Amino acid sequence: MRTEQIRRWESGALAHAVSDPFAQGPLPWLRGSENYFDDGQVVPWYVDVDQSGILPVQRERQAARGRRAHHGGPRTADDVHCQIKGFASSCGGVAPGESIDFRVTVSPPQPFSVDVYRIGHYGGEGATKITTSPRLSGIVQPEPLVADRTASCHHWWLSWRLQIPDYWSTGAHVAVLTTADGHRSHIPFTVRDRDPADLLLLMPDVTWQAYNLFPEDGRTGASLYHAWDEEGRLLGEEDAAVTVSFDRPYAGAGLPLHVGHAYDFIRWAERHGYDLAYADTRDLHSGRVDPTRYRGLVFPGHDEYWSVPMRRAAERARDAGTSLVFLSANTMYWRVELQALPGDAEDRLLTCRKRQGGGRALLWREQGEPEQQLLGVQYAGQVPQPHPLVVRNTGHWLWQATGVAEGDELPGLVAGEADRYFPRTPLPGHTERILLAHSPYQDASGSRRHQETSLYRAPSGALVFASGTFAWSPALDRPGHVDQRVQRATANLLDRICRRH
């Protein structure tokens, strides 16, 4: 299959048939980037350029001035040529004092370097560079091993081991890989909590891997959604992988689909001084973090795939008085298993049977434990076009100081996917419960549906909030999507959980 036919899938959004209008979203603008064009314009590490190494707008400007293009800009590596691609060998977040291994392939072989950034506010920069590797020797690693559509690169040689200093802050990090000839890719990883904090932010690495189609090359890669046939055509869930491996890069630029949702929340929360610790959802699964240590757990992005231990840990935390904050939709939809690799590397394989092999799909709601029993609402469907979020019960403290009135519409705030209350589905135990939005929208067939935002107080005193829409986190700090009313409502919720008043 020709490269031109493959490239249209590189965004991942088309490949996964995801209608989320935010998709990966803009990542932090790093004004400290060392990549400049000849007019002094700074290019951040997440901006793609064409094969000549310049931005399309830059080409237009230079053509208008009759100037020759500068060819020194970064170029995003792809899954067809694998100019540079890599992954982190870890079973979740890595704690200060521990080490993390990076396994990287470089084609053609040449030196490369790794810049490590921590995501945060940083005065509007969005991230800060915290370390740089020595100059490393890049090699072409072996082809992925494939068994029953499961592609794995666990046999790749070690490229760089990063020792995490004791003084590093917990947080979301990105390793930016750059070859000597200017190709670039990324590896996300988490430095998990060590010290007590008010809120534990859980990065949805299990869901990220479910969507990962690496290598997106028209023949080898597979996710829990798609695989390729012999002629390079993309197949659906019935023919997709049943098991996927964490031991492989992410497709395309090396960042997971929807990763921007978590980064939106992080920038906003750190700007406002919330006391955050960080972990991956695999840490929740394995028990490497104790969720009852915190006043609240925050699930900032699309978090669709949950194991039994993950759910039990969240339920245990709620019943111990720890609040839960779900800032997306379609949470905890599929029930999955995490398994060890041969040789006892923990939590390296993710399995979800879905619709293969007959029998009932492994939906939580079809296994007798609907999501609503924890969230207060549950998944209703996709939202083809953004619709307004229609606020309800505006006398409630969540809407305090937002300026909203009953029935006000917040434009574009119901998007991607939506949750609602199902009257025939059991609710969790509660002492108080309220729906804070009831928003009509049309689904892909033109049928009228509605979205709802939920909040309840468990008998333990814990609050459980579910936004019921993909658009909540982007409204906190996504350029072009910020809504001050959502910012204020989120602050009201977190302030109450953190007992700021």
**pLDDT tens digits, one per residue of 359-389:** 556 899 998 999 999 999 999 999 989 999 9
pLDDT in tens, 405-448: 999 999 999 999 999 999 999 999 999 999 999 999 999 899 99
Q: For residue 39, name the pLDDT band (cuts at 50, 70, 90).
A: very low
Task: Determine the average pLDDT of the residues in 28-43.
Answer: 36
How many alpha carbons lie under 13 Å from residue 302 in its C-beta half-sphere?
A: 27
Q: Where are the domains of the chain?
A: 3-34+77-289+334-351, 36-70
| DSSP assigned state of 479 | T
C-alpha to C-alpha distance for 217 and 1, rounded to whole angstroms? 8
Cis peptide before 142 (omega within 30 of 0): no
Number of H helices, E strands in the chain: 9, 26
| Residue whose structure tokens are 């072409």 | 140
Torsion of CA 217, 222, 225, 227, to 10 degrees: 60
What is the tens place of the pLDDT at every residue in 261-273?
A: 999 999 999 999 9
* Lowest-confidence pick of 20-34, 206-220, 329-343: 20-34
Distance CA 470, CA 300 (A): 10
For residue 291, give the 3-state DSSP assignment: helix
What's CA 75's distance to the chain center, in Å? 23
Query: In what side-by-side order are the strands of the sheet with 323-326?
Result: 276-280, 199-203, 296-299, 323-326, 463-466, 448-457, 432-442
User: Is there a contact between 496 and 405 (Cβ–Cβ < 8 Å)?
Assistant: no
pLDDT digits (tens, 9 = 90+) for 151-170: 999 999 999 999 999 999 99
Which CB contacts under 8 angstroms, 24+ apart, belong to 395-403?
A: 396/434, 396/436, 396/455, 397/492, 397/496, 398/436, 398/455, 398/489, 398/492, 398/493, 399/436, 399/485, 399/489, 399/492, 400/492, 401/488, 401/492, 402/484, 402/485, 402/488, 402/489, 402/492, 403/485
Tokens of 5: 């036919």
Q: What is the pLDDT of residues 6-19, one digit of tens each?
A: 333 333 434 443 33
According to CATH, the superfamily of the domain at 3-34+77-289+334-351 is: Macroglobulin (MG2) domain (2.60.40.1930)
In this predicted structure, the answer to whether residue 67 has a pLDDT above a threshold of 80 is no
Contact 93, 278 (CB under 8 A): yes
Question: Cβ of 72: how many Cβ atoms within 10 Å?
Answer: 13
- What is the model's pLDDT at position 360? 56
3-state SS, residue 51? coil
Tokens of 224: 């829990």
Q: How many residues does the chain have?
A: 501
Query: Is residue 46 predicted with pLDDT exceeding 50?
Result: no
**CA–CA dist 97, 166 (Å, integer):** 5
Q: Could you tell me where the DSSP H helices lie in 224-287?
A: 259-271, 281-286
Contact of 296 with 200, CB cutoff 8 Å: yes
**Cα-based angle 61, 81, 245 (whole degrees, multiple of 5):** 120
Tokens of 422: 């199902």
Beta bridge partners of 160: 102
